[in-house]
Amino acid sequence: MGMTFTQKILAAHAGLESVEAGQLIQAKLDIVLGNDITTPVAINEFTKAGFSDVFDKDKIAIVLDHFVPNKDIKAAEQSKQCRDFACAHCVSHFFDVGKMGIEHALLPEQGIVTAGDCIIGADSHTCTYGALGAFSTGVGSTDMAAGMATGKAWFKVPSALRFHLTGKLPANCSGKDVILSIIGKIGVDGALYKSMEFDGEGVASLTMDDRLCICNMAIEAGAKNGIFPVDDVTLAYLKGRSEREPVFYEADPDAVYDETYEIDLSQITPTVACPHLPENTHPASELGDIKIDQVVIGSCTNGRMEDMETAYRILNGKKIANGVRCIIIPATMQIMRECVERGYVTAFIDAGAVVSTPTCGPCLGGYMGILAAGERCVATTNRNFVGRMGHVESEVYLASPATAATSALTGYITAPKEEIA
Amino acid sequence: MNTHGKVFRYEDNVDTDVIIPARYLNTANAAELALHCMEDIDPEFVHKVQPGDVIVAGWNFGCGSSREHAPLVIKTCKTGCVIAKSFARIFYRNAINIGLPILECEAAANEIQAGDEVHVDFDTGIIRDVTTGKEYQAQPFPDFIQNIITKGGLLASLKEAQ
């Protein structure tokens, strides 16, 4: 029986000829990742269990991104604990303020993750790197501790859902609209324990930023991982970037899928997930007059360069609506610098937005844009659960950068016009 | 191993943001975090929960963030176990890895009501609703996972294997 793309990578990392869905395996890890929230718990477990050395200082990445620059004294203590551990173990991929970015934008950008890798990260959005043709999944802190100590993790080999993409996205849509549409269709546990494997001739028209965004939100359908085939777009992205030689795998022609979904990209429309679940999706154009108080453009889902370009095209020379607070957060320092160089930051400020250095802050209701009771936010982030961005009576609407920027100008949830985006 | 206590009941898709809101994640101290367990879905939970009590919920319990703080606060509140129709996969791993007993059982999750008194035997997977007298059989764990549970969590089992 043929293997899926994910199963091929897992078999290779488990040293097995083949694997099948449901099989329990031990796989070698290429990168073990943690952030300033999850790494302290992992360090405590690592120490408590009596481990003294990490398996490979070059295969661990620790990124301070959730609450930095430190939002308070406790956050500062957690960052310090990560910093001290990284220093004591000579962790080569340690990213502190000034070098850091939001982890899932930073690791691909810096070439730390690449095609063919097997990666775990103590952050649920670690599934992002499937866009590069890697197996990558989120785990908890104890798995991170075990990974740092042994270089291995246990997995139950997943079965897969296949998403066969055809056509080309309309100009006012991006990867975010694709993944929101899919989650709306299959639900927040529609891919539970499974892989989401994308293929078909529609893949070629999706940029790497689209693919990273789509895989990023695979977890929002409950998936173990999302994965895109390696093509010219992947090769162009990895060239001169990967610090290790990429390895190219592909699904067997006779791979078995639990289900195949046909997705015609040309039929995708600007999509919004309404409170309080990412599956509660509606076409942006059909939402009527929903007045908003805040817009957030950023996060591991949509803080990349193309997202900033989209925001710039829509906001440049315009004014944010009265009564709307617009917060724009480029996801890495490289993206931030590019935004400065290209004059985007000036344009954002002139439009009435604020621009922050990279942080996950508002997405998880940490800091930098907390909502009061009754307030509504259109965000390019990934979750709209109760209380996610502040008060339990606040509301988060998930949307693309084009929809978020357009809504910032009108003050209501508004679908982007084709000609602007 | 077993637990015996009263039931707290929740619906589908209980996410880790309501189990332990991110605004409290500036500490890894379990006792401090546990003061806010279930705060955004049930502010009374921490005041009412007694050692051995049981959380019963619907599909996809623990969805969302990978924060291990979520099973950790439930365990630190001395909750005896969580019974759900299904668990989000990272929560499932985390619960096993830190030694919070969890059981998948659709029938039990459908029928057991808030406030019922239940007895749960983890070795057999039998859930008994003492209030109604009904019994349910939960899905057994694969041996590999049972071994992690028996050894007291993932790191303890790895250390022993070394």
User: CB distance from A372 to chain B under 8 Å?
Assistant: no
Of A121, A146, A192, the CB nearest to B158: A146
In sequence order, the 6+-apart residues with CB closer than 8 A to the CB of A247 are A12, A115, A116, A117
Determine the pLDDT at residue B142: 81
Are domains A5-264 and A272-420 of this chain identical in fold?
yes
Determine the pLDDT at residue A421: 45
Asked if the Cβ–Cβ distance from A138 to B66 is below 8 Å, we say yes
Q: If DSSP codes are grouped into helix, strand and coil, which group holds residue A192?
A: coil
pLDDT in tens, A89-142: 999 999 999 999 999 999 999 999 999 999 999 999 999 999 999 999 999 999
Rounded distance between C-alpha atoms, residue A2 and residue A415, angstroms:
43
> Chain A residues with CB inside 8 Å of B57's CB?
none
pLDDT in tens, B108-156: 999 999 999 999 998 899 999 999 999 999 987 888 888 888 888 899 8
Rounded distance between C-alpha atoms, residue B149 and residue B43, angstroms:
30
Chain B residue with CA closest to A76: the answer is: B26
> Chain B residues with CB inside 8 Å of A138's CB?
66, 90
Rounded distance between C-alpha atoms, residue B118 and residue A387, angstroms:
31
In sequence order, the 6+-apart residues with CB closer than 8 A to the CB of A117 are A9, A30, A31, A129, A132, A134, A135, A136, A244, A247
Determine the pLDDT at residue B159: 82
Rounded distance between C-alpha atoms, residue A122 and residue A35, angstroms:
7
> Chain B residues with CB inside 8 Å of A40's CB?
28
Asked if the Cβ–Cβ distance from A41 to B40 is below 8 Å, we say no
Assigned token pair, A410: 């009108």
Rounded distance between C-alpha atoms, residue A229 and residue B49, angstroms:
49
Other C-beta atoms within 10 Å of B1: how many?
11
Asked if the Cβ–Cβ distance from B89 to A192 is below 8 Å, we say yes
User: CB distance from B15 to chain A under 8 Å?
Assistant: yes
Please say if the pLDDT value at position B1 is more than 90. no
Asked if the Cβ–Cβ distance from B97 to A49 is below 8 Å, we say no
Chain B residue with CA closest to A44: the answer is: B28
User: CB distance from A55 to chain B under 8 Å?
Assistant: no
User: CB distance from A222 to chain B under 8 Å?
Assistant: yes
C-alpha separations of A277 from A81, A189, A268, A386, A387 in Å: 34, 11, 20, 8, 12
> Chain B residues with CB inside 8 Å of A385's CB?
15, 17-18, 64
> Chain A residues with CB inside 8 Å of B15's CB?
383, 385-386
Average pLDDT over chain B reads: 95
Assigned token pair, A317: 């020379």
Domain residue spans in chain A?
5-264, 272-420
Residue A275 in contact with residue A396, Cβ under 8 Å?
yes
Q: Give A 240-279 residues with CB within 8 A of chain B.
A: 277
User: CB distance from A193 to chain B under 8 Å?
Assistant: yes
Q: Tell whether domain A5-264 is in CATH 1.10.8.100.
A: no
Assigned token pair, B31: 């006792």
User: CB distance from B89 to chain A under 8 Å?
Assistant: yes
Of A123, A224, A385, the CB nearest to B89: A224
Residue B7 in contact with residue B57, Cβ under 8 Å?
no
Rounded distance between C-alpha atoms, residue A83 and residue A78, angstroms:
9
Q: What would be the CATH architecture of the domain defined by A272-420?
A: 2-Layer Sandwich (3.30)
pLDDT in tens, B38-80: 999 999 999 999 999 999 999 999 999 999 999 999 999 999 9
Of A122, A365, A387, the CB nearest to B66: A122
Which stretches in chain A have pLDDT values below 70? 419-421
